[in-house]
Each structure stands twice: as structure tokens, then as C-alpha cells.
Amino acid sequence: MARRCAISKKGVLSGNNVSHANNKSRRRFLPNLQNVSFMSEALGRAISMRLSTNAIRTIEFHGGLDAYLQKVSSVNLDPKIAKLKKVIIKIAEARQ
């Protein structure tokens, strides 16, 4: 499984461990990914994703998964999330 957030696209960064003697050795900075399930009101079920904590906070700030996906552009999303967005928007339009 890739170490990349499906929404914010945060991934692995690389850098150096620097000792007191200024010796440098390569290291990896891993993103803080969490397995999370959000309840979709349009679909009526929970959606499981692997997201960074920053993306989780963003989704909660916008009022949930459905509200966030309706606001965000499809260009920046993972293909699976973009497909989910289309389904959610189609159901939301049918309810109106």
C-alpha cells in the first residue's frame, strides 16, 4: 500500500539525520496516515479511507465527507475518491 494520502496527496519526504558531530545519514519522513471511516449521508453507509490527519481535519471542518467532496475540485483527487464524488453528487442532485 502506498504511503500517500488519497485527498491531500501528502507522501514520503526524505532528508538527513544530523548528529552532534554533524554526520549525515539519510532518513525518511513518513506522513501521519490513519485508517478512517466517514459516514456518507448521501450513500447511507460508511466509507473507509487511508488519510493524513491534516485531511481528516479538513473534511471535518467542511462538515463531513459529502460536503467536502461537493466543494473540492476533482482534478486533485485520487481516482477512487473522484468516482465516489460523482456518485455522491448524482444522489444529491436527485434528492433536490
CA distance 71 to 67: 7
Contact between 77 and 85 under an 8 Å Cβ cutoff? The reply is: yes
Residue type, 3: R
pLDDT of residue 1: 60
Domain boundaries, the chain: 13-95
Q: What is the pLDDT of residues 32-54, one digit of tens each?
A: 999 999 999 999 999 999 999 99
Name the fold adopted by 13-95: Ribosomal Protein L24e; Chain: T; (2.30.170)
Residues with Cβ within 8 Å of 85's Cβ and at least 6 positions away in sequence, in order, are: 69, 70, 72, 74, 77
* 50-78 pLDDT per residue, tens: 999 999 999 999 999 999 999 998 888 88
Distance, CA of 66 to CA of 73 (rounded, Å)? 13
Could you give the CA distance from residue 2 to residue 67 in angstroms, rounded to a whole number?
A: 26
Residue 96 pLDDT > 80: no
pLDDT of 2: 82
